[in-house]
C-alpha cells in the first residue's frame, strides 16, 4: 500500500490558502479515482482506493501543519508502511507558480509540515513539490503562503489539480519523470495560432482574363481610323 499525504491546515477559513494546495491535490486525486469517502482516523481524514492497480491510502492530517508528522506516523504504523512508500504533496515557495517537481529525500527547507514529518519518519520519502511562487520579499512570505490564491491564479490552479489527478498512475508506479512531464504538458499555456501564409498568385490567368491590349473580336472602332 502507498500513502499519499496532502499537507494543509484544517478548517474552511484555510481551504483556499496557498499553504493548502497539498490538501487540494489529494482531494482531486480522490475524486478522479473514485476513492471511498473520507473518514476520520489517525488524527486526520483518510480515504482508500486504487490507482493503476495499486492500493492507496490518501491522508489529510487535521493536526495543523506543524504537527502533520503525528498523523502520518500513526497511519504508517497501523498499515506497516515504509517511508519509501509515502508520497507527500506540499506547497513550495522556491518554485514558480504552477511548476511541479518530484523528489525523494533531502531537507525540509523550513517547511513546518515537512519538518514535522522528518521528525517522525526521517527524510526518505517522496515529495511532490507544488510551486506557489515567492512574493519577492522575505517579509511578505508568511502573508503570501497563508493567503488565498488570487483570481488570476484560478485558471492554472484548476488545470494543475486536474493534471495531478489524471496522471497519478505514473506517480504511484514510480515514473516520477513521466509524471512531471505529463503534468507540465497539460498546464502549459496554449501556443498562439501561427499566421496563415499569404496565398500564392496562380500561375495561370483566369480563363476570362484577356491580355492587355487585346480587343474582343466584335469591338467597334472608337475613332476615324479604328484606333
Q: Name the nearest CA neighbour of 178 among 196, 162, 199, 163.
A: 163
CA–CA separation, 186 vs 115, rounded Å?
Answer: 31
DSSP string, 42-67: TTEEEEEEEETTEEEEEEEE-S-GGG
Report the C-alpha dihedral over residues 141, 143, 144, 148, rounded to 10 degrees.
160
On whether the CB atoms of residues 121 and 86 are closer than 8 A, the answer is yes
Among 17, 19, 90, 167, which one carries the catalytic annotation? Answer: 19
Burial of 147 (0-12, 13-18, 19+ CB in 10 A): middle
- Of 17, 15, 26, 12, which is closest to residue 71 (Cα–Cα)? 26
> Within 13 Å, how many C-alpha atoms sit on residue 120's CB side?
22
144 is catalytic: no
- Three-state DSSP state, 90: strand
Taking the C-alpha atoms of residue 89 and residue 58, their distance in angstroms, rounded to an integer, is 11
With contact defined as beta carbons under 8 Å apart, do 26 and 40 qualify? no
Give the residue numbers marked as catalytic: 19
Amino acid at each position: 500500500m502507498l500513502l499519499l499525504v496532502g499537507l494543509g491546515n484544517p478548517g474552511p477559513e484555510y481551504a483556499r490558502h496557498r499553504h493548502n494546495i497539498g490538501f487540494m491535490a489529494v482531494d482531486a486525486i480522490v475524486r478522479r479515482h473514485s476513492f471511498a469517502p473520507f473518514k476520520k482516523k489517525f488524527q486526520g481524514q483518510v480515504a482508500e482506493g486504487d490507482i493503476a492497480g495499486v492500493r492507496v491510502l490518501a491522508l489529510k492530517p487535521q493536526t495543523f501543519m506543524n504537527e502533520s508528522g503525528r498523523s502520518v506516523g500513526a497511519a504508517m504504523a497501523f498499515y506497516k508502511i515504509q517511508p519509501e512508500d509515502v508520497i507527500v504533496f506540499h506547497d513550495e515557495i522556491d518554485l514558480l507558480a504552477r511548476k511541479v517537481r518530484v523528489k525523494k529525500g533531502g531537507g525540509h527547507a523550513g517547511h513546518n509540515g515537512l519538518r514535522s514529518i522528518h521528525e517522525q519518519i526521517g527524510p526518505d520519502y517522496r515529495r511532490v513539490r507544488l510551486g506557489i511562487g515567492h512574493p519577492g520579499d522575505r517579509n511578505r512570505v508568511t502573508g503570501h503562503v497563508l493567503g488565498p490564491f488570487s483570481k488570476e491564479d484560478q485558471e492554472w490552479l484548476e488545470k494543475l489539480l486536474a493534471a495531478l489527478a489524471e496522471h497519478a498512475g505514473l506517480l504511484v508506479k514510480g515514473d516520477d519523470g513521466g509524471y512531471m512531464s505529463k503534468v507540465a504538458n497539460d498546464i502549459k499555456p496554449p501556443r498562439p495560432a501561427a499566421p496563415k501564409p499569404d496565398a500564392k498568385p496562380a500561375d495561370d490567368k483566369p480563363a476570362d482574363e484577356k491580355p492587355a491590349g487585346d480587343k474582343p473580336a466584335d469591338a467597334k472602332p472608337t475613332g476615324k481610323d479604328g484606333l
